[in-house]
Structure 1
Amino acid sequence: MSVTLRGVNLGYMQLDLSLLSNREQNVGVTYQCPALAYIIETPEGRILWETGISAQARQEWLPEWQEAVSLANLAPEAFIERRLATMGLGPDDFRYVVLGHLHTDHAGGLRLFEDAGAEIVVHEREYAHVMAMQDAADFFNPVDWAFLGSKKPTLVSDAGTEMAGGIRLVHLPGHTPGQMAMQLQLENTGTVLLTSDALYHHDNYAEPVAAPQIYWDLDQWNSSLNKLTKIAQESDAWVFPGHDDTGIAHFDGKHELRAIQFTPEHIYA
């Protein structure tokens, strides 16, 4: 069995595009911002990359979060539990759940796996950061991951790690302390980099590079983007941003924008 990848669209938030890519022309542009997850099939078991927004987000998000990021158009069928069910999957069908980081628009569905057998994987710096928090702040919401205090996750170090299917996890801090990307090798598609919010949107990547307005450490974000770009160039990778259905495909020392498919039947192999 070879490694395969399937994208899952978990609904749309609305926000000003300049929050993700701070260019003058993006100010005032309303962006339909997708929450995304990915299902990876490997010979060693099925992996879920990120979990999107909680079905209780409208009640749980702080007012200031919802002022910046509207949840008004999120449909009930978009949340992770319903999306997985339409594919015939449930929490017990995964060996691993990997979080690029623990912001509530990526970890909101994590509680679905509290009583499942899946191994939860996060970076050690991300885990230490959130375990020191008492209250919701900076788009971290303790209700998403409170159970990780007792159900200990598998922690990834700064050196990264290799897991099932030869998949590599890469530490790319800046957006958050423990932000990670996932690098996987597909037989036909080639190398794919799932960036989470190490790269929000393809517009961040255009020259000159545009930083976001939401970050933990901007210098580290820029350093991590340079690291991500180097990996992508050296491996001719297709880069999948954290909140975008347009990726950046590298080949022969060049790159081009390429649409990412999220229809249920589309599988990258």
Structure 2
Amino acid sequence: MDTRFLRRLSGLACFLGLIGASIVPASAQEGPKLYVFTSGSLGGFPKAALQMGGQGTIDWVPVSFYVIKHPKGVVMFDTGNNDKTITDPDGWWGPLAKGFGLKMTKDDAIPVQLAKIGLKPDDVKYVAVGHLHLDHGGNVGQFKNATLIAQDDEFKAAWWPDVGYSVYYIPGDFAETKNMKTIRLNGDFDLFDDGTVRLMRAPGHTPGSQFMVVKLPKTGTMILTSDCVYSTENLDKNLIPPIPGTWSPTDSYKSYERIRHFRDADNAKLLIGHDAEIFKAAKKAPEFYD
């Protein structure tokens, strides 16, 4: 075969390869990134509220939420305290605002936090919540264009809570959910069908609690626990919260075991949303894990 023809053919292939690479959006070439945020804080309440038999007072507790920038869309996990508590904490949370020492400033608002990484609420494609309690589902209504993902049992628990378990559900927080696109789960879910973002059913804290497992190319596996676990101490010592912080003690213990399994099987890093030491040590947006 004519060598000049082969050289031309090879050059054409390289040219077409460069063209192909240039038309692929930069975001599609990047791997997922995980960002850690805070939606205010809590503090000055008895430790016994977070673990049965706990002694002393909890001085400061972060209220964390997370964003994953994935080539197939932006995902948010948990949404923090409702931004309305910045100006009207007692009107929105009632006696819980003082009881849990709620602190929110204008800098904690969702739009301000997301702006740190160049996003607006409308840029979020999926909002997944560990559950719909007031400090995790508080701002779901700000994401009207997103698809809300929760366990079917959690939607039911929020709208029609069992007697004695309504205290941490604020109907105004999730009033918009009936008008939103939703994925109502009955088990585990691989969001992008690629193993990078998975939701794991873990009832106990509430009927429809779930945690998220994120696999990152460099960092490895990270587990976002929401309130399936309140703290590292709770997990390591098998300490669960009292009612109404625990809907089912038996399921809570099983969910602890499930989280420990994922942690140990893949040497995963835990991001426990209310654990002060974990939050202090974590990279905060605009820094990220990749």
Q: TM-score range by the shorter chain?
A: 0.7 to 0.9
- Taking the aligned partners of 1:134 and 1:209, their CA distance within structure 2 comes to 25
Aligned residues of 1:8 and 1:38 also touching (Cα < 8 A)? yes
- Aligned to 1:61, which of 78, 93, 103? 93
Q: Percent identity?
A: 27
Question: Deviation digits for residues 181-221 of structure 1, max 9, x if unmatched?
Answer: 00111111111110000011111123x32222321111211
TM-score, normalised via structure 2 length: 0.80
Identify which of 189, 211, 219 aligns with 2:250: 219
Going from structure 1 to structure 2, the CA distance change for 1:134 and 1:88 (only over 3 Å counts) comes to: farther
- Give matches, 1:145-224, under 5 Å: 145-158=174-187, 160-164=188-192, 166=195, 167-206=197-236, 208-213=237-242, 214-224=245-255
Q: CA deviation at 1:168?
A: 1.0
Residue in structure 1 matched with residue 148 of structure 2 by the alignment: 120
Change beyond 3 A, Cα 1:146–1:265: closer
Residue 139 of structure 2 corresponds to residue 109 of structure 1:
yes
Q: Which residue of 2 aligns with 1:237?
A: 268
Aligned to 2:7: none
Give the unaligned 5+ runs of structure 2. Answer: 1-29
Query: Aligned pair 1:45/2:66, yes or no?
Result: no
User: What is residue 114 of structure 2 aligned with on the other side?
Assistant: 84
Unpaired runs of at least 5, structure 1: 248-256
Residue-pair matches, total? 251
Q: CA deviation at 1:163?
A: 0.7
| Partner deviation per Cα, 1:52-75 (whole Å, 9 max, x = no partner) | 001223121132x2343111x322
Aligned to 2:167: 138
SS of residue matched to 1:228: helix
CA distance in 2, matches of 1:241, 1:4: 18
**1:120 and 1:154 in contact (8 A); partners too:** yes
Is the 8 Å Cα contact of residues 196 and 241 (structure 1) preserved in structure 2? Answer: yes
Q: Is the 8 A contact 1:123 1:157 kept in 2?
A: yes
Once the two structures are superposed, residues 152-194 of structure 1 have per-residue CA deviations (whole angstroms, 9 ceiling, x without a partner) of 4111112x11012531110010000110000111111111110
Counterpart-to-counterpart distance in 1, 2:232 and 2:250: 19
- Measure how far apart 1:11 and its partner are: 1.5
Task: Mark the CA change 1:89 to 1:230 in structure 2 (over 3 Å): closer, same or farther.
Answer: same
User: Matched residues in 1 for 2:263 and 2:272: separation?
Assistant: 12
Conserved 8 A contact 2:147-2:180: no
Shift of 1:97: 0.7
CA distance 1:226–1:61, change in 2 (3 Å): same
Structure 1 position 22, deviation (Å): 3.4
SS at match of 2:169: coil
- Aligned counterparts of 1:103 and 1:30: Cα–Cα separation in 2: 19
Listed as ranges, the matches of 1:18-37 within 5 Å are 18-24=48-54, 27-37=55-65
Q: For 1:169 and 1:175, how far apart are their aligned partners in 2?
A: 16
Provide the rounded CA distance (Å) in 2 between the counterparts of 1:261 and 1:20: 25
Tell me if structure 2 keeps the 8 A contact 1:133–1:142. Answer: no
Answer whether contact 2:35 2:288 (CA < 8 A) is retained: yes
Measure, in 1, the Cα distance between the counterparts of 2:113 and 2:161.
30
The structure with the largest strand share of the pair is 1
Greater share of helix: 2
Q: 1:246 deviation in Å? A: 3.5
In structure 2, C-alpha distance between the alignment counterparts of 1:212 and 1:133, rounded to whole Å: 18
